[in-house]
Structure 1
Amino acid sequence: MHVQPEVIRRFINQSLRFMSAYRLGLTGKAAEWAVQKQKQHRQVSQRATMSIEAVLG
């Protein structure tokens, strides 16, 4: 089976964003939301973290 390099890159980038979210203390749905919110970066920004904290209170 041959996997396209682009598929591998997307998986790695998403994994890096989840790792970043977990390092910032997000878990579960909050981490998932932050990762979906930050599609352009390899890590979750402080701004996204502050947004989720405001929503969760």
Structure 2
Amino acid sequence: MKLDKLTSIRLFAGDNDRLQKVAEIEGLDKSDIIRKAVQLYLAKYESHVFLSES
């Protein structure tokens, strides 16, 4: 799987080589990577004040 240039630049700036290796090893496609990134980001901030107020 080769990440398209726009996605690589906008979402993964500075981590393209490492991300490409993970994608190849894990057999992930672009949507899988984006989904996992969003899940990790939300999990990190789940208990943050601005999310617990809603």
TM-score range, shorter chain: 0.3 to 0.5
The structure that has the greater radius of gyration is 2
Normalised TM-score (structure 2):
0.36
Normalised TM-score (structure 1):
0.35
